[in-house]
Structure 1
Amino acid sequence: MVQAEIKSLLKEDISILIKVPNSAKHYLCDCGEASLLTVKEVQSVSAIFISHTHIDHFSNFDGIFRHQIGSGEKIVICGPKNIHRQIEARLKSYTWNLIDENAIEYEIREIVSKEEINVYKIRPPHWNLELIETQHFLFEDEYVNVDFAILDHKTDSIAYLFREKDSVTFNENGLEFKKGKWISELKKAFENNDSEKEIEIEGTVYKASDLFHFLTRNKGYKLGVIMDHAVCEDNYEKIKTVFREADMVYIETFYKDEDQEFAKINYHSFASASGKIMKECEVKEAIPIHFSRRYVESDQLEIETAFYKAFQGN
């Protein structure tokens, strides 16, 4: 299953690395200061997901692309409205006279609405944006597809849900045939819902549906990252729609309960509010993240205590 690692220490700006087991592929959520993020990890990132471009979520973007330039890879960047212009401005602020046009390519996916994703391409040395297409989905590769919610933080703040692809396992119990390539053919038919597919085993042809009992579908793991958001019913309805019954969710919990007036003023969440919405979403595991830099370790402990009390319904 996909795994997340917080790469920022207390009082550092937030950045979360998501890894695919048995793969060199990583995804990065937000580009805040992250002293635990290694160069090797950055160079393995194939997609970056930006919640919003406040400085504490975007300040380390330059450091990220510093270690990606020269890879020759295409890297996807997803983010809120105007993300393409902000990335263009960052890239054009440097001198690139010694960089080849094949050094890297960024594909920027601007989230305009749930149904409208504008896709841009930008490459060195001139970094001129090119609108490629408008699509209705955000991101999908061989490992995950990514859903999202557009939350209010007095600006659009994108919350992301990584849905691992379902897997199919073969059950050998009671198997009366020799294993062979027919198993992969059967799995493909199962995944394509092709019950009429003919499968040949040891000279005999079977209908795929007659063999489906050898297979089990395993639901993919669902991992969520919810960054800055105001405590309001509209945000919570969107969160419930996307993140209900997720396996694990990391959620912004910027303030202690006693500082919830600051949360209201600054369109952030606070400890018990974040815990309560996770309980209402019936997520299996929830982790509070992204605390105000005013806090020390004892404050973090207080936040976590209030969060888990609300999450567990105590």
Structure 2
Amino acid sequence: MLQAEIKSLLKEDISILIKVPNSGKHYVCDCGEASLLTVKEAQSVSAIFISHTHIDHFANFDGIFRHQIGSGEKVVICGPKNIHQQVEARLKSYTWNLIDENAIEYEIREIVSKEEINVYTLHPPYWNTEFIKTQNFLFEDECVNVDFAILDHKTDSIAYLFKERDTITFHEEASGFRKGKWISELKIAFENNDPDQQIEIEDTIYKASELFHLLTKNEGYKLGVIMDHAVDERNYEKMRTVFTEADKVYIETFYKDLDQEFAKLNYHSFASASGKIMNECKVKEAIPIHFSRRYTESDQQEIETAFYKAFRES
């Protein structure tokens, strides 16, 4: 099960670390101050997901790449339109005369639309962006694949859904056969939806469909992060498309209900609005995050109370 940890204190800008248990894989969503993010965790991050580049979501990018330089690894950065230019500008603002070109590689994936992802690379010491290709998916590795929605925050604000890969359980006690390579062949046929695939077991040929009852598909855990967004039906329709029935979603809840006029003015959400859309998405667990820095702990409690009231109402 994917695990998420908020690495920012109440008065700090938001940053969330996502961990894949038993793998050492870490992903970061947004680069706020994140005083709780350790050097070791930063060095283990293989992908950074930026919702948008307002300063409170991007200011600590420097602190993260400072700990990554010298790893020799490739780190993926995903973000909205022009993210490649903004990353390049940040990296070029420093002097790198002591850094080898193999110290690190950044691959930047610029989200132009749901179907158009532009991929760039850049290396030290000159950090000149090189366009590589355009693709129609954002991110996948051996642990997760990532879907997204492009929300309106008076600029594009990307909301991300991390989905663990589905797994398949083989029910050995129900088979009556000896173990063998036929099990992996059956799983492949199941994954590929190929019921006519021939499977040989103990000198007998079976159709894969005759053996599918020995398998169970386990849906991968779905973890969402929805940052800044306007209270707007077009945003909500995109959320329903991507986040419906997610296992857990962290969602921006910047303002108290009493301050919802500020939310409308600044293209943010407020407590009951965020709770209500999570209810409509039938999310199993929803967590309000990213509160205005003007608020105290008692204000945060007020936000959470209004959020969960709206979230739990049928």
1:213 aligns with 2:184: no
Structure 2: unaligned runs, 5 residues or longer: none
The structural deviation recorded for 1:207 is: 2.3
User: TM-score, length-normalised on structure 2?
Assistant: 0.97
- Aligned partner letter, 1:142: E
The structural deviation recorded for 1:134 is: 1.0
The structural deviation recorded for 1:181 is: 2.6
The structural deviation recorded for 1:150 is: 0.8
2:134 is aligned to 134
- Aligned partner letter, 1:78: C
Worse-superposed segment, 197-206 or 282-291: 197-206
Alpha-carbon distance in structure 1 between the residues aligned to 2:306 and 2:10:
18
Alpha-carbon distance in structure 2 between the residues aligned to 1:100 and 1:192:
44
The structural deviation recorded for 1:279 is: 0.7
2:313 is aligned to 313
- Aligned partner letter, 2:288: P
- Aligned partner letter, 1:246: A
The structural deviation recorded for 1:198 is: 2.5
1:104 is aligned to 104
Superposition map of 1:164-183 within 5 A: 164-183=164-183
1:198 aligns with 2:203: no
2:223 is aligned to 223
- Give deviations 1:275-296, integer Å, cap 9, x for gaps: 0111111111100000111111
1:118 is aligned to 118
Alpha-carbon distance in structure 1 between the residues aligned to 2:167 and 2:23:
16
The structural deviation recorded for 1:202 is: 2.6
2:302 is aligned to 302
Task: Provide the secondary structure at the position in 1 that maps to 2:142.
Answer: coil
The structural deviation recorded for 1:196 is: 2.6
Alpha-carbon distance in structure 1 between the residues aligned to 2:206 and 2:71:
48
- Give deviations 1:145-175, integer Å, cap 9, x for gaps: 1111111111111001112211100112333
Alpha-carbon distance in structure 2 between the residues aligned to 1:32 and 1:165:
28
Alpha-carbon distance in structure 1 between the residues aligned to 2:198 and 2:249:
42
Task: Provide the secondary structure at the position in 2 that maps to 1:173.
Answer: helix
1:157 is aligned to 157
Alpha-carbon distance in structure 2 between the residues aligned to 1:205 and 1:176:
15
Runs of 4+ in 1 over 3 A off after TM superposition: none
Task: Provide the secondary structure at the position in 2 that maps to 1:26.
Answer: strand
- Aligned partner letter, 2:183: I
Alpha-carbon distance in structure 2 between the residues aligned to 1:231 and 1:7:
26
Alpha-carbon distance in structure 2 between the residues aligned to 1:294 and 1:14:
14
Task: Provide the secondary structure at the position in 1 that maps to 2:174.
Answer: coil
The structural deviation recorded for 1:144 is: 1.4
User: TM-score, length-normalised on structure 1?
Assistant: 0.97
1:259 is aligned to 259
Alpha-carbon distance in structure 2 between the residues aligned to 1:215 and 1:241:
29
- Aligned partner letter, 2:308: Y
Superposition map of 1:265-280 within 5 A: 265-280=265-280
Alpha-carbon distance in structure 2 between the residues aligned to 1:102 and 1:188:
38
Alpha-carbon distance in structure 2 between the residues aligned to 1:205 and 1:102:
52
Superposition map of 1:38-117 within 5 A: 38-117=38-117
Alpha-carbon distance in structure 1 between the residues aligned to 2:31 and 2:307:
25
1:35 aligns with 2:35: yes
2:12 is aligned to 12
Worse-superposed segment, 180-189 or 300-309: 180-189
- Give deviations 1:249-293, integer Å, cap 9, x for gaps: 100000111111111111110000000111111111100000111
2:3 is aligned to 3
- Aligned partner letter, 1:134: T
- Aligned partner letter, 1:257: D
The structural deviation recorded for 1:233 is: 1.2
The structural deviation recorded for 1:185 is: 2.0
